[in-house]
Structure 1
Amino acid sequence: MQSLGSNGRPAGRGMSMRMGSAGMAIMLVVFLVAVVFAANQNDVVGWLVVIISLGWLLVFSFVVFSLRSAARKAASRLQGHAGFGVQGQAAPVAVDRARDLKLDHSFKIVQVQVGVVREYLGRDEGMVERALETIEITSHNARSMMKGSTDGPVEGTVVD
């Protein structure tokens, strides 16, 4: 069951939905006026205007109903799969996916820094020291994501 907003309409029905309804009403009025004038005048030009306004009404109807359908499908996907729940909080699936991406990025940083250490070992101690510091920071941050630690991220310079 869908909840109702303060205006009595379904919650989530925004300005664009009302504009689509208003536009549909205007197009319908234009078509009906064209039919009335064409019937009164009974000439070919009037009926051509009716046919053109009917075409525009059909095109407008198709666009409005297609967009509404697409918006409903997108909203249901966001709510149902990995989107947001009733209070707007991220669903566990979305949180897990974001955490996995962050961890993957952390591991890539560590791999790059290992290559830096190997390349500069014995040649540039400053570069090796910064790479080791980056590995330490990245590892700490990754572990805190995994454990749910409240320590927060470690500060420092990241060398790529």
Structure 2
Amino acid sequence: MQSLGSDGRPAGRGVSMRMGSAGMAVMLVVFLVAVVFAANQNDVIGWLVVIISLGWLLIFTYVVLSLRGAARKAAERLQAHGGFGAAGSQGTAPVAVDRARDLKLDHSFKIVQVQVGVVREYLGTDEGMVERALETIEITSHNARSMMKTSGEGPVEGTVVD
């Protein structure tokens, strides 16, 4: 959990927040320089540049403040749900983690099926391809089993998926 500063915001600000602040400062400097040059020259084109730079400053301000508000709401929502790592450490694995594991296992089984087809196709004609396919099957099976087991020994535990 992040520590909060005296203003209630997270203590460490991200790169995007610093970039937004730096961008805001640059836009403000551009606007002020345009105002100074327009006041010195006192011509229509100078004041048009001031109006255009003011428009860009307002647009930039709106975008930065909107993104900061959205980021703050998303952070609050994540914190309310325990964040990504906190739920798994409390013993109640979120559904998203189970879904990700199931997708990885499904992918592993697809790899095994493809390599079985390679073995059937090249059996007796290309021993190198057959050896590589068998090695891929062995590695993929090992990785899939390690995703399913909670410990290094004992039977596989989990839910049977049809």
| TM, length-normalised to structure 2 | 0.54
Which aligned pairs between 1:41-60 and structure 2 lie closer than 5 A?
51-52=51-52, 54-60=54-60
Instruction: Map Cα deviations across residues 25-58 of structure 1 (whole Å, 9 max, x no partner).
Output: 7867967xx5xx97xxxx9788767644542332
Indicate yes or no: 2:7 matched with 1:4: no
Question: What residue ranges of structure 2 are gaps of 5+ in the alignment?
Answer: 154-162
Which aligned pairs between 1:18-29 and structure 2 lie closer than 5 A?
20=20
2:159 is matched with none
| Backbone CA RMSD of aligned residues | 4.6
Alignment partner of 1:115 out of 117, 122, 127:
117
CA distance in 2 between partners of 1:138 and 1:102 (Å): 11
Deviation at 1:110, TM superposition (A): 0.8
Which aligned pairs between 1:59-74 and structure 2 lie closer than 5 A?
59-74=59-74
Q: Which segment is superposed worse, 134-143 or 67-76?
A: 67-76
Q: Which amino acid aligns with 1:72?
A: R
Q: Identity of aligned pairs, percent?
A: 78
Instruction: Map Cα deviations across residues 42-101 of structure 1 (whole Å, 9 max, x no partner).
Output: x978876764454233222212112213433554566577962459x7x74443233223
1:103 is matched with 105
Q: Which amino acid aligns with 1:59?
A: I
Q: How many residues align?
A: 144
Q: Which amino acid aligns with 2:114?
A: V
Q: Which segment is superposed worse, 63-72 or 16-25?
A: 16-25
CA distance in 1 between partners of 2:140 and 2:15 (Å): 45
1:147 is matched with 149
2:156 is matched with none
CA distance in 2 between partners of 1:56 and 1:133 (Å): 59
Question: What residue ranges of structure 1 are gaps of 5+ in the alignment?
Answer: 152-160
| TM, length-normalised to structure 1 | 0.55
Q: How has the CA–CA distance of structure 1 residues 143 and 15 changed in structure 2, closer, same or farther, with 3 Å as cutoff?
A: closer
Deviation at 1:21, TM superposition (A): 5.0
Q: How has the CA–CA distance of structure 1 residues 79 and 58 changed in structure 2, closer, same or farther, with 3 Å as cutoff?
A: same
2:137 is matched with 135
